[in-house]
Amino acid sequence: MLMHKDKATLLVVDIQEKLIPAIAGAQNLIARARWLIAAAHDCALPVVFSEQYPQGLGHTLPELLAAAPAAQVVEKLHFSCVSAGCLPRSLLEREQVIVCGMETHVCVLQTVLGLLQLGKQVFVVADVVGSRSDRDKELGLQRMQGAGAVLVSREMVLFEMLEKSGSEQFKAMSKKYLVGEQP
């Protein structure tokens, strides 16, 4: 199944100020997340950010919020966005949810499992998730895939949102996101 921008929302789970220093490969994760969020915004894909206990863990990184200034930010105490009941109606009304964020084996995993239980088509951006350990990240990805989530890359998201080459949008997006060094 393909991702479609008129059916999907990008959900960015808990990439927060006080948690990011503990994440393996944090700077690469931030760069890849900024790339994905900006590309989603430029493709008119709705974006939602979640924050786990922001009073203690801080807020979403400002550079990520700046990449999608119209995005909604929701707060939660449950690890799962679904269990927290914080997801906006606009996301829940769509068939597909594209998920990235941290930690892969905790909040991302529990959110993805909840979305699958709701009958959503869930795509996990494997190169834009992180955990404190690489082993936990890998186990989280394996468990989500085993439960029915589809693992994708940032470029898969971009190309499926664009659908075809030859357009002015494709040329602009290719120049901005595909030519040159990528994070």
Q: Are strands 8-13 and 47-52 parallel, antiparallel or unpaired?
A: parallel
- pLDDT score at 2: 97
Rounded Cα gap, residues 4 and 123, in angstroms: 11
Task: Please report, as a single letter, which amino acid is at residue 135.
Answer: R
- Chunked in runs of 10, what are the mean pLDDT values of the chain (183 residues)? 97 97 97 98 97 97 97 98 97 98 98 98 98 98 98 97 92 88 70
Task: Please report, as a single letter, which amino acid is at residue 18.
Answer: K
CA 53 to chain centre: 18
- pLDDT score at 179: 84
Q: Is 164 helix (H, G, I), strand (E, B) or coil?
A: coil
- pLDDT score at 181: 65
What ranges make up the beta strands (E) of the chain? 8-13, 47-52, 72-76, 96-102, 121-130, 150-152
Name residue, tokens 């529990």: 110
Nearest by Cα to 101 from 172, 51, 43: 51
DSSP letter at 19 equals T
